[in-house]
Amino acid sequence: MRKRIKEIAETRVRYGYRRIHVLLRREGWPVNVKRVRRLYRMEGLNLRAKRPRRHVMAARRVERPLASRPNEIWAMDFVSDALFNGRRFRALTVVDAYTRECLAIRVDQGIKGEQVVDVMDRLLFERGMPPAKIRVDNGPEFISRALDHWAYINRVTLDFSRPGKPTDNAFVESFNGRLRDECLNTHWFLSLDDARAKIEAWRTDFNESRPHTSLGFMTPAEFASSAGVNPGR
């Protein structure tokens, strides 16, 4: 069991003992979470980068309403990275704030408002309906005329973050952190096609295999299925 715990931790470097326990139970190991925690620590796997402490007042802000159903609120943002030769690329990430699914990751060297609309049209076809609201920041791709027109036609509200307030779009910010920790920081990308393939494989694994703490350690796909969603992939 110690060997298997170590194997999982080596391939899923940002998983703590609770997620590893969920994966072990899926594999048929009759073990409780306390034993996994003890073995996890015995292997020295509990070393994680500490997050900086925040001022108490920083948490005292007006919380935005949470999504109460699938396809009610989507959130999207950009992540930047580079190929092995230093050539930069960007990834547009789209998540459902209720199911926590990653609906899409569009990877390209440059992504403009028209490419964002292409992703939205594809998701609209796959999901069968537009969201009521999409949370975005004030980047040029999101304030573009193309996206504004798409939102007007489909009666979608673009909910812009306040300047300097990334917490207004917390779900996608958190997702992007996982994407960087678990995928971007652990792979070499030889080309854009290689980056697309590896990132899409990670997206599928995130949706279908990764236990999510806020979903009671269900995967986003399992939670979406229980909510009656048949997401397109």
CA 216 to chain centre: 17
Q: For position 63, what pLDDT does the model report? A: 53
Partner residues linked to 96 by β-bridges: 74
Highest mean pLDDT of the ranges 14-18, 41-45, 78-82, 159-163: 78-82
User: What are the structure tokens assigned to 165, written together?
Assistant: 């307030």
123-149 mean pLDDT: 91
**CA pair distance 148, 155, nearest whole angstrom:** 10
Residue 54 pLDDT greater than 50, yes or no: no
User: Residue 118: which pLDDT band, with cuts at 50, 70 and 90?
Assistant: very high
Q: What does the pLDDT look like over 155-192, one tens digit per residue?
A: 999 988 877 676 778 889 999 999 999 999 999 999 99
Average pLDDT of every residue of the chain: 85
User: What are the structure tokens assigned to 39, written together?
Assistant: 């073995």
Q: Look at residue 181 and give its three-state secondary structure.
A: helix
Q: Look at residue 134 and give its three-state secondary structure.
A: strand
SS3 for 40-103 is HHHCCCCCCCCCCCCCHHHHCCCCCCCCCCCCCEEEEEEEEEECCCCCEEEEEEEEECCCCCEE
- Which helix or strand (DSSP H or E) is residue 105 part of? strand 102-108
Is residue 217 a contact partner of residue 203, using CB atoms and an 8 Å limit? no
Q: Percent of the chain at pLDDT above 90?
A: 50
Residue 227 pLDDT greater than 80, yes or no: no
Entry pTM = 0.75
User: What are the structure tokens assigned to 25, written together?
Assistant: 């139970």
Residues 6+ positions from 163 with CB-CB distance below 8 Å:
138
Q: For position 74, what pLDDT does the model report? A: 95
**CA pair distance 191, 178, nearest whole angstrom:** 22
Pairing of strands 157-160, 88-96: unpaired
Is residue 74 a contact partner of residue 97, using CB atoms and an 8 Å limit? yes
Residues 6+ positions from 169 with CB-CB distance below 8 Å:
75, 77, 135, 136, 137, 161
